[in-house]
Structure formats: structure tokens, C-alpha cells
């Protein structure tokens, strides 16, 4: 072993459970021990890790605030020479703060209050927290570390730059709970590189991992060198301990580069002062470690892992073991079945086929083949007799009226009732199988195929459903999803020869229009300018607008796009405005 002037840091990329204070505490202590065994000088945990993120209205419960602060105190008492940075909720008589505690040698040395509170998309932090006002720099015998929390690193001219330029920080440590959406890993990497190069510092970004209701946190924590290279990175969608030796002497030249000096000279510190906490760590003789750099994944791989993690955590964190779903022979229910298999294991998935007189033979045989491929339990429960019984009961009231969507929806609601019967009797969680394309335009039956406690594909467009199925077949090396499912024309099979395109534009077109209208908030005119037919665009926009009442009653689902229904995109149900 050799004496070193490096500082070894650890980023504990962990999966918190909101409200599980003792469980989260145990994880903290376990990973503190792991970092100590790796001879680390500092370990950091994600944003609000003690209570889990986001705690939402738990923040209004004074007992909850006191309990999590007591947990913080217990953790602090078990610290030794290794510095620990841990996210928690701080508070006083008047204010509540999103905070980071710096602990060492049995006590809390310093506290940082998050300065930039996000209040957009899925974030409501201004509802709960008061913004901090003073950046924090740790001075470890001349090696200086700036502390910040999540949004702080995203805002130019904020605390991290003040810590680098006014506080002389060599490393910017950001603890975060940044939820996933597609391409988010690359977006973060680009940002951290720009921050590192601009400030001439190492940027260490530690992100939460795990599913919390509609949100999935993807981890992918990173440590970036001032030259923009990645020094270390965490696993995507898994817990990890990221270790890195920070070469103190190597960093000095980067602070004197012309571009960094120019940035420092032009920086106007918006804060009244910077807190400085002086700490020491014992010198160590230790072998250097080899840090791991992981490439950004292909899109299908990252979305698939996000869906598996979000589903697994929703099921387990809410106390379920097994799930059930209606397996129709279509591509959506096929993908949900495979996701459930991969998330929970074959023994915990029960697929129920509920054919009617309108179901094709292929749909039934394709469903059976899929369940054989996955080795999961398959229940076949025809609904024709139940459906005929309903029609008989309603005959006198419907006499003389043509069959229409009423009879179609009856079939969907019979299936939903049967699935909920299994749920009530055996404690299985029902999964809804609708995709974002259908949910957007209301091509789904409320209290029917929308029945379920969780909706894994709620934010997944139809064409991405196909891509994910083909991705899963590719990594399996054979057709887990039978090719017949992937090539048949989509159909609800609620009347003879029914096809989705009888009611909707082709999904290739529909998905592009929806992405523009729902995610980018473009007007009908702007979408038409892209080359789409005005009548089709107006129809799609109207369907999106008038079906808000359905979406408000839908099961929660996993966010994978920048603008998902639910916590993200919030529109009034009663709304007479129509896009033009």
C-alpha cells in the first residue's frame, strides 16, 4: 500500500421507501460500513434519503418531521472519521427545508438547505419547503467540497458556481432525486460535463434509484473530471456504491485555465455569504481503486428497465406478492405479462384469458403460447354466457335499439369484474394493460379494461410497445412474444371484424400527433404544419381533451416521457377550451 494525497469518495446510490424511516436508516448504516471497509474519506446519500422522495404531504405531519430528524441524530452518533452527507428534512418554528446534513465523529457538523426549489412537471417543492440562502463548502485540510441538492446543479449561476468561484471548491457534490424519462441519463451527463468544464471542478452527482408511485429514479450517478471525462458512474436502475479517488494535485491546473478564470472573474455571487465547515480526515495508506465507467444504454433497454423497476417496486412496496391481468392475445397485454414475469418471477404472475364469441382463435392460441414461453399460470375463463345473461337482463330496456358501444363495453366490464374477483379472493394486484396512445384518446373502457391497481404502459405509446416487445425477443434470442402477436392488426375484438384503425388513425401517425399535442403542447395549426391532415389532428385533439375524466380515474402508471398523464400533465376535467 502507498501513502496517497487523494480523497476517496463514495456515492451510495440507493432505493428508499417513502416513510420507512427505520428501513432507510438500516440501508444508510449498511452502506456506511461498506464505504468504511473501502477506506473512504466521504460517503454521500441521495436527496431526502431518510424519509424517501417525494414525501409529499407527509411533510405537514409534525410527528413525521420529528421522527425522521431523530433518525438523523441516531445515524450521526454512529459516524466516525468518515464524513457522511445525508439528505433529510430540516425545520424550525416557521420553516421546513429540503436539507443535507454533514456528519462526522458522532455529530452533525453542518447543514445545507436547498436553494433552488423546483416547481414544475412532477415537482411541488415550493408547496412544502422554504428555499435556503447560503451555499456550503467543506474544507478538508485545503481540499474544498461544495454541497448542493438536485435542482441547484441545474440552475446556472446558483450555489455550485458560488461554491466553486467564491468558495474555492475543488469538487461539487450534488445529492439528488431526479426521476427518469427517456434520454434523461444522457441529458444529465451533458449537464454535469458542462458544469465541470465551466467551473474547473470535479462534479460528483449522486442520484436516487427505485420506483415511487408513478416515478422511477434511474440512478446512473456520475463523477465527472474537469476535462469532461467520466471518472466513475453508477449502474442504471440498480443500487450501487460508486467509488472514486479524487486526485487533489491533478485538479489545480484546471482552476487556472483561461476559460475558468474568465468565468470566475465574471461571476457575481448572488448570496450574502458562504458557509465553511472545517474538517479533517486521517491520512491513509491504501491501494488505488479502479473506478467503473458505464456507457449510456440504448433507448429500448433503458425504458424496459425503468418499467420493470417501477412495476417491481410498486408491487413490493405496497405489500403485494402476485399480480393478475387479462391476457387478450394482443401486443399490450403481452408486454405487460413479460414485464410482470421479469419484475416478479413466473410464480407470481397469473394471466387470465376471457374470450367472447368475437375473440379470434389466434388470440387464444397466441395467449397460451406466450404463457408457455414464460412458464406462468394460465386461466381460461370464457365470458359468452355471462355476456348473454347481461343482454337478456337488459333486453326489455334496449328493445328496438341497435347494438353499439354499449354492448362492446359490457364485455370489457365483465372482464374487469372477473379480474377484480380474483384480486379480492386471493389478494392479487390487477394490472391494467392500456398504452398511452389509447389512454390519450379514450380508446379504453372505464370500469372495464381500465380496471387495475397499476398501469405499467400508461406512459408508453403503441409503437414503443412494439419496439419493447421486439427488444425483449432480441435479448432472449427467440420469440418470447409470438410473431403472430406482433404482426396482427390491433383489435379490441368486441364486435365482428373490429380493427383499432376503424376508430383511430394508424398508430404511426397517432403517436406523432399525440407527442406534439400532449408532450410539446403544440397547437393544431403547429401540428398541421408538420404535414398532418387538419381534420385528423382536430379529431385527435378533441379526443384528448374530452377524455380527461377517464384519465383522472385511471390507475397510476410509470412515467417514461417528459410529460406524462397524472402527476405531470394536469388539465381540468370541466374545460370548454378547444385547441385551434
**pLDDT tens digits for range 210-269:** 999 999 999 999 999 999 999 999 999 999 999 999 988 787 777 778 888 888 888 888
pLDDT reported for residue 287:
83
Alpha-carbon gap, residue 6 to 244, rounded angstroms: 10
For the segment 121-125, the average pLDDT, to the nearest whole number, is 87
For the segment 365-388, the average pLDDT, to the nearest whole number, is 93
Cα separation values, 150 from 48, 125, 147, 228, Å: 10, 12, 10, 20
CATH number at residue 40: 3.60.110.10
Share of residues in the chain with pLDDT > 90 (%): 73
Question: Are both 332 and 476 inside the same structural domain?
Answer: yes
Domain boundary among 499, 532, 549: 499
CATH number at residue 405: 3.40.50.620
- Which residues are paired to 209 by β-bridges? 218
* 234, containing H or E segment: none
Residue 364: which pLDDT band, with cuts at 50, 70 and 90?
confident
Residues in CB range of 7: below 8 A, 6 or more apart: 41, 42, 140, 143, 171, 245, 246, 248, 281
Domain boundary among 464, 499, 534: 499
Bin 538: left if φ > 0, else alpha if -120 < ψ < 50, else beta.
alpha
347 DSSP 8-state letter? G
Tell me what the pLDDT averaged over the chain comes to: 91
Comparison of pLDDT for 489 and 288, the residue scoring more: 288
Question: Are both 357 and 410 inside the same structural domain?
Answer: yes
Question: Are both 253 and 332 inside the same structural domain?
Answer: no
CA angle 549, 552, 554 (to 5 degrees): 110
C-alpha cell at 554: 385511471
Write the DSSP assignment of 249-295 as a string of letters.
Answer: HHHHHHHTSHHHHHHHHH----SS--EEEEE-----EE--------P
pLDDT reported for residue 1:
42
Domain-located, residue 562: no
Domain-located, residue 155: yes
Residue 360 phi/psi, 5° resolution? -75, 155
Question: Are both 129 and 274 inside the same structural domain?
Answer: yes
Residue 500: which pLDDT band, with cuts at 50, 70 and 90?
low
Question: Are both 42 and 84 inside the same structural domain?
Answer: yes
Asked which of 257-261, 296-300, 390-394 is least confident by mean pLDDT, the reply is: 257-261
Alpha-carbon gap, residue 124 to 122, rounded angstroms: 7
Alpha-carbon gap, residue 293 to 243, rounded angstroms: 11
Write the DSSP assignment of 355-366 as a string of letters.
Answer: --TTS-HHHHHH
C-alpha cell at 415: 372482464
Q: Are 210 and 240 in contact (CB under 8 A)?
A: no
Domain-located, residue 291: no
CA angle 101, 153, 91 (to 5 degrees): 35
Using CA atoms of 112, 114, 116, 120 in order, give the dihedral in degrees to the nearest 10. Answer: 170
Whether the CA torsion 188, 469, 516, 435 is positive or negative: it is negative
Share of residues in the chain with pLDDT > 70 (%): 97
Alpha-carbon gap, residue 472 to 343, rounded angstroms: 13
Query: Is the preceding peptide bond at 61 cis, omega within 30 degrees of 0?
Result: no
Comparison of pLDDT for 285 and 306, the residue scoring more: 306
Bin 272: left if φ > 0, else alpha if -120 < ψ < 50, else beta.
alpha
Asked if pLDDT for residue 342 goes beyond 90, the answer is yes
pLDDT reported for residue 252:
76
Q: Which residue has cell 394508424?
A: 506
Using CA atoms of 91, 97, 98, 102 in order, give the dihedral in degrees to the nearest 10. Answer: -60
Question: Are both 369 and 493 inside the same structural domain?
Answer: yes
Asked if pLDDT for residue 494 goes beyond 70, the answer is no
Question: Are both 39 and 86 inside the same structural domain?
Answer: yes
Residue 572: which pLDDT band, with cuts at 50, 70 and 90?
confident
CA angle 423, 426, 429 (to 5 degrees): 40
C-alpha cell at 199: 467551473
Q: Are 445 and 409 in contact (CB under 8 A)?
A: yes
CA angle 516, 335, 460 (to 5 degrees): 15
For the annotated catalytic residues, the residue numbers are 47, 114, 150
Question: Are both 71 and 130 inside the same structural domain?
Answer: yes
Asked if pLDDT for residue 362 goes beyond 80, the answer is no
Question: Are both 232 and 362 inside the same structural domain?
Answer: no
pLDDT reported for residue 299:
93
- Which residues are paired to 245 by β-bridges? 8
pLDDT reported for residue 2:
47
402 DSSP 8-state letter? P
pLDDT reported for residue 247:
87
pTM attached to this predicted model: 0.92
Q: Are 468 and 350 in contact (CB under 8 A)?
A: no
Quick one: which of 218, 302, 308, 215 has its CA closest to 568? 215
Question: Are both 265 and 314 inside the same structural domain?
Answer: no
Domain-located, residue 154: yes
- Long-range Cβ pairs for the range 545-551 (8 Å, 24+): 545/571, 545/575, 545/577, 545/578, 545/579, 546/442, 547/440, 547/441, 547/442, 548/572, 548/573, 548/575, 549/573, 550/439, 550/442, 550/444, 550/446, 550/450, 551/439
Asked which of 50-59, 200-209, 440-449 is least confident by mean pLDDT, the reply is: 440-449
Range of the domain at 167: 8-280
Domain boundary among 470, 499, 528: 499
Q: Which residue has cell 403542447?
A: 521
95 DSSP 8-state letter? -
Domain-located, residue 119: yes
pLDDT reported for residue 126:
86
pLDDT reported for residue 96:
97
From the DSSP assignment, how many helices (H) and strands (E) are in the chain? 20, 21
For the segment 364-381, the average pLDDT, to the nearest whole number, is 93
pLDDT reported for residue 490:
67
- Structurally, how many domains does the chain consist of? 2
Domain-located, residue 544: no
Question: Are both 313 and 170 inside the same structural domain?
Answer: no
Domain-located, residue 231: yes
Strands 222-224 and 143-149: unpaired
Quick one: which of 3, 1, 2, 25 has its CA closest to 14? 25
**How many C-beta atoms lie closer than 10 Å to residue 526's C-beta?**
14
Amino acid at each position: 500500500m502507498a501513502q496517497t494525497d487523494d480523497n476517496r469518495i463514495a456515492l451510495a446510490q440507493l432505493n428508499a421507501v417513502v416513510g420507512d424511516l427505520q428501513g432507510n436508516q438500516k440501508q444508510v448504516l449498511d452502506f456506511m460500513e461498506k464505504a468504511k471497509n473501502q477506506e473512504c474519506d466521504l460517503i454521500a446519500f441521495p436527496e431526502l434519503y431518510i424519509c424517501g422522495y417525494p414525501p409529499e404531504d407527509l411533510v405537514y405531519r409534525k410527528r413525521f418531521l420529528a421522527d425522521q430528524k431523530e433518525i438523523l441524530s441516531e445515524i450521526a452518533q454512529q459516524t466516525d472519521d468518515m464524513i457522511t452527507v445525508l439528505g433529510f428534512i430540516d425545520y424550525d418554528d416557521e420553516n421546513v427545508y429540503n436539507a443535507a446534513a454533514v456528519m462526522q465523529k458522532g455529530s452533525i457538523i453542518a447543514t445545507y438547505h436547498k436553494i433552488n426549489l423546483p416547481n414544475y412537471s412532477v415537482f411541488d417543492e415550493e408547496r412544502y419547503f422554504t428555499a435556503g440562502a447560503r451555499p456550503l463548502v467543506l474544507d478538508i485540510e485545503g481540499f474544498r467540497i461544495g454541497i448542493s441538492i438536485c435542482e441547484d446543479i441545474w440552475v446556472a449561476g446558483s450555489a455550485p458556481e458560488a461554491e466553486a468561484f467564491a468558495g474555492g471548491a475543488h469538487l461539487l457534490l450534488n445529492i439528488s432525486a431526479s426521476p427518469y424519462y427517456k434520454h434523461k441519463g444522457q441529458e444529465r451527463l451533458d449537464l454535469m460535463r458542462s458544469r465541470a468544464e465551466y467551473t474547473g471542478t470535479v462534479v460528483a452527482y449522486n442520484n436516487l434509484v427505485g420506483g415511487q408511485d408513478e416515478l422511477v429514479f434511474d440512478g446512473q450517478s456520475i463523477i465527472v473530471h474537469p476535462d469532461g471525462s467520466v471518472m466513475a458512474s453508477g449502474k442504471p436502475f440498480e443500487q450501487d456504491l460508486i467509488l472514486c479517488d479524487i486526485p487533489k494535485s491533478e485538479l489545480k491546473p484546471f482552476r487556472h485555465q483561461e476559460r475558468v478564470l474568465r468565468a470566475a472573474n465574471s461571476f457575481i455571487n448572488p448570496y450574502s455569504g458562504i458557509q465553511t465547515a472545517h474538517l479533517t480526515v486521517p491520512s491513509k495508506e491504501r491501494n488505488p481503486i479502479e473506478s467503473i465507467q458505464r456507457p449510456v444504454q440504448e433507448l429500448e433497454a433503458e425504458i424496459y428497465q425503468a418499467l420493470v423497476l417501477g412495476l417491481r417496486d410498486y408491487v413490493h412496496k405496497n405489500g403485494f406478492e402476485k399480480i393478475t391481468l387479462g391476457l387478450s392475445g394482443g401486443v399490450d397485454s403481452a408486454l405487460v405479462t413479460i414485464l410482470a414475469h421479469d419484475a416478479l418471477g413466473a410464480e407470481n404472475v397469473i394471466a387470465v384469458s376471457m374470450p367472447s364469441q368475437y375473440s379470434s382463435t389466434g388470440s387464444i392460441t397466441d395467449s397460451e403460447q406466450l404463457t408457455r414461453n414464460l412458464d406462468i399460470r394460465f386461466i381460461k375463463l370464457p365470458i359468452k354466457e355471462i355476456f348473454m345473461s347481461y343482454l337478456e337482463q337488459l333486453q326489455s330496456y334496449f328493445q328496438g335499439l341497435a347494438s353499439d358501444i354499449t354492448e362492446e363495453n359490457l364485455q370489457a366490464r365483465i372482464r374487469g369484474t372477473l379480474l377484480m374477483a380474483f384480486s379480492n379472493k386471493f389478494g392479487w394486484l390487477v394490472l391494467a394493460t392500456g398504452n398511452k396512445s389509447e389512454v390519450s384518446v379514450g380508446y379504453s373502457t372505464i370500469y372495464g379494461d381500465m380496471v387495475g391497481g397499476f398501469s405499467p404502459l400508461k406512459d408508453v405509446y403503441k409503437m414503443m410497445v412494439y419496439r419493447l416487445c421486439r427488444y425483449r425477443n432480441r435479448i432472449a434470442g427467440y420469440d418470447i412474444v409470438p410473431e403472430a402477436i406482433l404482426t396482427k392488426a390491433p383489435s379490441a375484438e368486441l364486435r365482428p371484424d373490429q380493427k383499432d384503425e376503424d376508430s383511430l388513425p394508424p398508430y404511426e401517425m397517432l403517436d406523432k400527433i399525440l407527442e406534439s399535442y400532449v408532450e410539446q403542447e403544440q397547437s393544431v395549426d403547429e401540428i398541421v404544419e408538420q404535414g398532418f391532415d387538419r381534420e385528423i389532428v382536430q379529431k385527435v385533439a378533441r379526443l384528448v381533451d374530452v377524455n380527461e375524466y377517464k384519465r383522472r380515474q385511471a390507475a397510476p402508471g410509470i412515467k417514461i416521457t417528459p410529460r406524462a398523464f397524472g402527476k405531470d400533465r394536469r388539465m381540468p376535467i370541466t374545460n370548454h377550451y378547444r385547441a385551434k
